[in-house]
Amino acid sequence: MSSRFRASVLAFAMAALTLGACDREEHHDRAKPLGETVPAGQSPDTIWPGGSSPSPLDPRAKLYDNNAPAIAEGQQLFSQMNCVGCHSHGGGGMGPALMDDEWRYGGRIDQIAASIAEGRPNGMPAWKTKLTSDQIWKLAAYVRSLSGLPSKDAVSSRSEGMSSGTPQTLVSHGNIKNSDTAEQ
């Protein structure tokens, strides 16, 4: 009997890797209404004169960052809302590349969500009237996965369409160092 227990302990040790499983796998379907604080005001630090301490992370971030269903839904929204039209599958085109490690307006998930919601100069439309904040956060989670920032066990390797570059699970952090890939 005690060896049965030992076997279970062993199995639990194996599963220790997966203790983060709950959060990774959780579906957050009951979305926050659009009217609620869309992540506005999360201005990236670099454009404040003199710099300042980074603003606190929005508490909703942990619901979406490293959340596998959120990243997968974000992937679908990315093509459905035609983000690929400007950003391609992360390599950029008319819009900047999303798979590099240069973030003009901040690379934290709440900063990316703010960029999507508010729009940005030089052509990024404001989506906050078109998408709910839940959808925006999911897109932000997916965008982060394009440059390999979330943990690998939360991203899916590829989409069910034509192949578009390195599988997400094999992308290393900050795939492309050169930030000028957008200007091709």
Partner 1 sequence: MTIRSIVRVGLAPLLLGACQYQHYQSDFGAAAVEDRQFLALFWIFMGVCGFMYALVIVFLIAGVVRSRRAADANVVETGRHHQSSPLMRSTLIGWTALIGVGLAGLAIASFFADRSMARAATGEKLSITVTGNQWWWDVSYDSDDASKTMRTANELHLPVGVPTRIILKSADVIHSFWVPSLNGKQDLIPGRQNDITIVPRKIGIFRGQCAEFCGTQHARMSLVVIVEPYRDFIQWWDHQLQPAPAPTTPLTLAGYQYVTSGACGACHNIGGTPASGTVGPDLTHLASRRSLAAGTMPMSEGNLYGWVEDPQSLKPGVKMPTIGLEPDQLHAVVAYLETLK
Partner 2 sequence: MTDIRAGVFEAMPPRERERERVEAENRRLAAERKKIARDGPKLKGERLTARLDATWRRPPGIIGWLATVDHKEIGRRYILTALGFFVLAGILALIMRVQLGSPDNTLIGAERYNQLFSMHGSTMMFLFAVPVMEGVAVYIIPLMLGTRSTAFPRLNAFSYYMYLFGGLMLWIAFVLNMAPDLGWFEYTPLSGPQYSPGKHTDIWAQMVTYTEVAALAAAVVLVCTILKARAPGMTLARMPLFAWAMLVEGVMIIFAMPAVALVTTVLLIPDRLVGTQFFNAAEGGDALLFQHMFWFFGHPEVYIIFLPATGFVSVIVETFCRRPVFAHSVVVLALISTGILSFGLWVHHMFATGLPRVGYSFFTAASMSVSIPTGLQIFCWLATMWDGRPRFQVPMLYVVGFIVTFVIGGLTGVILAAVPLDLQLHDTYFVVGHFHYVLIGGAVFPLLGIFTYWYPKITGRMMDETLGKIGFWLVFIGFHTTFMPMHWMGMLGMPRRVYTYPAGLGLELPNLISTAGAFVLGLGALLFVLNGIVSLYRGAIAGPNPWDAASLEWATSSPPPVYNFEHIPVVESDTPLWDSDGELPVVTGLRVDEKEMLLTTVVAATPDVREPVPQASLWPFISACAVGIVFAASIFSAWAVPFGLIPCGIALIAWFWPKDMKRTPEPVIS
Q: Per-residue contact track with partner 2, 11 to 40, x per CB under 8 A?
A: xx-xx-xxx-xx-xxxx-------------
Q: Does 130 bind partner 1 (CB under 8 A)?
A: yes
* Residues between 144 and 173 with contacts to partner 2, criterion CB under 8 A: 152-154, 156-163, 166-170
Q: Per-residue contact track with partner 1, 33 to 52, x per CB under 8 A?
A: xxxx----------------
Return the HEC string of the chain.
CHHHHHHHHHHHHHHHHHHHHHHHHCCCCCCCCCCCCCCCCCCCHHHCCCCCCCCCCCCCHHHHCCCHHHHHHHHHHHHHCCCHHHHCCCCCCCCCCCCECCCCCCCCHHHHHHHHHHCECCCECCCCCCCCHHHHHHHHHHHHHHCCCCCHHHCCCCCCCCCCCCCHHHCCCCCECCHHHHCC
Q: Does 59 bind partner 1 (CB under 8 A)?
A: no
Q: Per-residue contact track with partner 2, 110 to 149, x per CB under 8 A?
A: ----------------------------------------
Q: Does 86 bind partner 1 (CB under 8 A)?
A: no
Of residues 24, 32, 120, 158, which one binds partner 1 by CB under 8 A? 32
Count residues binding partner 2 (CB under 8 A).
41
Stretches 1-9, 42-50, 84-92, 124-132: which one binds partner 2 (CB under 8 A)?
1-9
Which positions lie near partner 1, rule CB under 8 A? 27, 29-36, 80-81, 129-132, 134-135, 160
